[in-house]
Structure 1
Amino acid sequence: MKTALFYEYYEKWISIYKDGAIRKVTLNKYKMTLQWLKKLIPNIKVFEMTRNVYQKLLNDYAEVHEKQTTMDFHHQLKGAIMDALDEGLIEHDPTRKAIIKGKVSRSKKPKFLSQFELHSLLSVLDLGSTINSDWLIQLIAKTGLRFSEAIALTPKDFDFAHQLLSIDKTWDYKGEGGYQPTKNKSSVRKIQIDWQTIVQFSELIKNLPEDKPIFVKEGTRLYNSTINDLLARKCRLAKIPVISIHGLRHTHASLLLFAGVSIASVARRLGHASMNTTQKTYLHIIQELENKDVDIVMRSLASL
């Protein structure tokens, strides 16, 4: 096995440890990494994977990818390399002190809106008496659901009596459609929804089939890009920064944090696997809130 080509070892490693254990969309990322190995180091054998070889691999990959993408590439390789190290196929850890480079990031859409901007967006939505994509935008803004979670919702997921929404599945919008599991176990959850949403959706879905998706019409496909295009038009109409549909999830979480909701509660509402994910994602907001906390502490001490 030491003399096997590294990409062959990696391909076998994916088959043993990842295939069937992770979601298809994540598995495809590992397979894409495999294709890059075939392109960049087609002749490197397992035992030849030294620090210099590995760093050059990262550098070559980084020439055509942004830094975060290169970091993901590194993480997808590291698991296989650590196993090869444990098996004695590689003598020293080639990933030790690896330097992550990458192209300068392209200008990206803002991650979230302010409360005023969100109000402006919601005010231009076409919220009629029947379900449409504008209702989907509003629901994601008010719940922080992932796109795949929101379009998998059925009427029976709404508990109007207790103002609860159950999330226990996603919709395979990247594939052939149909239900599939949530991103992780923590993503299976019940979240509280406001009374206005309760009143609106109790009317909207009262005559719809209990176990059919609300937002996906039978026999049709609903693409993330389609909703992002609609959202972009609505943002321009409201004269606010253009964000993505996932940006509405960030907006929801950000407004909750600024309102004083605990990180633990926000993490549960978003279906994060741990609070660490929430802290990393919203570090800039948490730091801003900590600065405000310092001011409050100082004022309180000064008044003693």
Structure 2
Amino acid sequence: MASFQKYTTKQGQMWMFKLDTGVNPETGKRQTTTRRGFKTKKEAQQAVSRVEQELANGISLNNNNLTYKDVFDQWFANHSKTIKASTKKSIESKFNKHVLPRFGKLKMKEITRPYCQKMINEIAQLITSVNDIKIQANQVFKYALKMDIISRNPLEHVTIPRQQKDLINDDNEVDERNYWKKDEIKNFLTITKQELSFRDHVLFHLLIYTGARKGEILALTWDDIDYEAGSTRFAKTLFHNKGEFIFQTSKTKESRRLISLDTKTLSLLKKWRIRQIEADLANASKYDGNKMVFTRDDGSPLRLAYPNEKLDIVIKKHQLHRITIHGLRHTHASLLFEAGASIKEVQERLGHSDIQMTMNIYTHVTDYLKEQTAVKFQRYIEL
């Protein structure tokens, strides 16, 4: 039951109400809430109706002052126990850089849909992966709904603005191809063989010939390689966090895979293994079969940024078509398709959990593959 009272301020007559909100589940005592600042009794009565509706919906009035940051801390304390260290670090980075500066200090119940749309539009001007930021931010709102902190999700119907470049069809658009063609790969490997250390040449060769992620390659140990079967096992990945190297199991069961190696790759790995053993013997170190395949001179793991830096140096020096380390993985898939591999074969070799990821690469395969489609048709029709 609510009671209403008029009171006097410097601004004039105002209205307030007191409402019995029931028993506090923590103390077992009855509790009331008081709200002030209404210009008319009718406004106060309408406010009482809203509070009573919230109570009927199970929403606690103790949550009124919770900020987005408060709720984020609650959600992340639980969520972080279910994810790997690398994922935790990635999520924290996204929130600290994009979400919390814009939402953190705001009370959850005061965040509106127009404000959310404005913030998403703003983030979209800065980065292309705005949809991922929205997905992460939305997890906090979903948690708030589940915990009865809010009664509706203000981010639910917010749309992602399309990038301007996606709205323009320009035949002269800059080439954004993030893979190399066969002749470009041959040229690159010739350069690495002539100008880089043997270790780095083998590293890039393995990235190109397996299509593995750099974290998977850098986490390889010699017992992952089976020379008799001609295969290697990818079941872990290297992650660097706060000055420490961490070996994590692969994220999905599809990522934990056994793939075949060609004879050239096996030969290079054998040569590199012999050089490592010789270096160990020269330093009076006992050879360890579980030793990592790629290490620094002191035996510690290579930095995750190392392959990126080396790739950028070679590209800049020789004015090669610019791609990323991930582009080498894309390159491997594209050349597999050119060689006649099926979509399923490529999916399994790359460790894609979702075949749509493989299909996305297939839609960007090289011109050579597209030309072969016409040739195949001609050969068939003329038989």
**Do these two structures clear the TM 0.5 threshold for a shared fold by scoring above it?**
yes
Aligned pairs for 1:131-146 within 5 A: 132-146=199-213
* TM-fit CA distance, 1:236: 5.0
Q: Deviations over 1:111-164 (max 9, x none)?
A: 110011001111122379x85112101111111111111111111111111110
Q: Deviations over 1:195-231 (max 9, x none)?
A: 1111222232143521111211345452243322322
Which of 214, 231, 240 in structure 1 is aligned with 2:293? 214
Number of the residue aligned with 2:7 = none
Q: Which has the higher strand share?
A: 2
Which of 217, 220, 226 in structure 1 is aligned with 2:306? 226
CA contact (8 A) 2:239 2:304 kept: no
What's the secondary structure of 1:170's corresponding residue?
A: strand
Number of the residue aligned with 2:103 = 41
Distance 1:109 1:188 in 2: 31
Distance 2:256 2:211 in 1: 14
Matched to 1:114, the amino acid is: K
Q: Deviations over 1:36-62 (max 9, x none)?
A: 433213442223333212112212333
Is 247-256 or 95-104 further displaced after alignment?
95-104
Is 6-15 or 134-143 further displaced after alignment?
6-15
Is residue 68 of structure 2 the alignment partner of residue 6 of structure 1?
A: yes
Distance 1:127 1:191 in 2: 28
Q: Which has the higher contact order (CA 8 A, sep 6+)?
A: 1
Number of the residue aligned with 1:81 = 141
Matched to 1:22, the amino acid is: I
* TM-fit CA distance, 1:14: 1.6
Is 31-40 or 110-119 further displaced after alignment?
31-40
Q: Deviations over 1:257-298 (max 9, x none)?
A: 222211221111111122122223543239996796578558
What's the secondary structure of 1:20's corresponding residue?
A: helix
CA contact (8 A) 1:140 1:150 kept: yes
Larger Rg, first or second structure (1 or 2): 2
* TM-fit CA distance, 1:96: 1.4
Q: How many residues align?
A: 298
Aligned pairs for 1:1-304 within 5 A: 1=63, 3-17=65-79, 19-35=80-96, 36-63=98-125, 65-68=126-129, 70-88=130-148, 89-92=150-153, 94-100=155-161, 110-126=177-193, 132-173=199-240, 175-206=243-274, 207=277, 208-217=287-296, 218=298, 220=300, 222-236=302-316, 240-285=320-365, 293=373, 296=376, 300=380
* TM-fit CA distance, 1:85: 3.4
Name the CA shift for 1:38/1:83 in 2 (closer, same or farther; >3 Å): closer
* TM-fit CA distance, 1:100: 3.2
Distance 1:186 1:16 in 2: 26
Matched to 1:14, the amino acid is: F
Matched to 1:56, the amino acid is: K
List gaps (5 residues or longer) in structure 2.
1-62, 167-173, 278-286
CA contact (8 A) 2:237 2:248 kept: yes
Q: Deviations over 1:160-201 (max 9, x none)?
A: 111100111122245512422223322111100101111222
What's the secondary structure of 1:191's corresponding residue?
A: strand
Name the CA shift for 1:276/1:222 in 2 (closer, same or farther; >3 Å): same
Matched to 1:77, the amino acid is: A
Give the RMSD, CA atoms, in angstroms.
3.2
What's the secondary structure of 1:124's corresponding residue?
A: helix
Q: State percent identity of aligned pairs.
A: 25
List gaps (5 residues or longer) in structure 1.
none
What's the secondary structure of 2:365's corresponding residue?
A: helix
Name the CA shift for 1:47/1:244 in 2 (closer, same or farther; >3 Å): same
Is 188-197 or 172-181 further displaced after alignment?
172-181
Matched to 2:231, the amino acid is: L
Distance 2:101 2:347 in 1: 39
CA contact (8 A) 1:187 1:270 kept: yes
Name the CA shift for 1:99/1:200 in 2 (closer, same or farther; >3 Å): closer
Distance 2:367 2:75 in 1: 40
TM-score, normalised to structure 1's length?
0.83
